[in-house]
Amino acid sequence: MTDARQAILGRLGASGGDPAAEYEQIARDYLPRHHDHDLHELLAERLTDYRAIVHTSIDELPKALRDGPYVAPPDLPWITGLGDRVVTEPYDLEAVAGVITGCAVAIAETGTIVLDHGPRQGRRALTLVPDHHLVVVSSDQIAADVPEALARLDVTRPLTFISGPSATSDIELSRVEGVHGPRTLEVFLL
């Protein structure tokens, strides 16, 4: 342990009190609270702000599929009737046009989709390699804010937070999408 770290930890220990209790007492009036808004509308608005494509019906799923097969976890109910346009895991992720998954939770306030890679979501690479990610979100999976979402999640699972298509900016602030994951994110709000 470095001397600086030891000094900081020593000051924290000497301060007495309960840091968790002190943290809870901090006023957070600056945080917007949207609990009185329709969570579907708020989530759709935030997702759109992040350049995600938002659909309000699962009936639009077949039209969203591009050329080439899509891969999906085998237990997705939404892929029945799509025939050979959708293959199930395991599959070569370099050979697919995209992926269809469910999610663990969606955060309305931040427009974030959270995957815990459980049933209906597949392994982590499934959502990071293909260029097109289609996510189905049911109304009971929408949390108003981050604390509510975290309360619903098992934090011991691998979590992936997605706020729009993968994007990065260089030093000149030129935005490039799809560098570290899917270039296109489409969300189906049920």
- pLDDT tens digits, one per residue of 65-85: 988 889 898 888 888 888 888
Share of the chain above pLDDT 70, in %: 76
Q: Please, where are the H alpha helices in the chain?
A: 3-14, 19-24, 39-49, 61-64, 146-152
pLDDT of residue 17: 62
Q: How far apart are CA 136 and CA 130, in angstroms?
A: 16
For Cα atoms 96, 99, 105, give the angle at the middle one, nearest 5 degrees.
165
| Mean pLDDT rounded to a whole number for the chain | 82
Q: Token pair of 184, please?
A: 């296109």
Tens-digit pLDDT profile for residues 144-185: 999 999 999 998 899 999 987 666 655 666 666 655 667 889
Predicted TM-score (pTM) of this structure: 0.75
- Count other C-beta atoms under 10 Å from residue 23's C-beta: 8
Sequence-distant (≥ 6) Cβ neighbours of residue 23 within 8 angstroms:
none
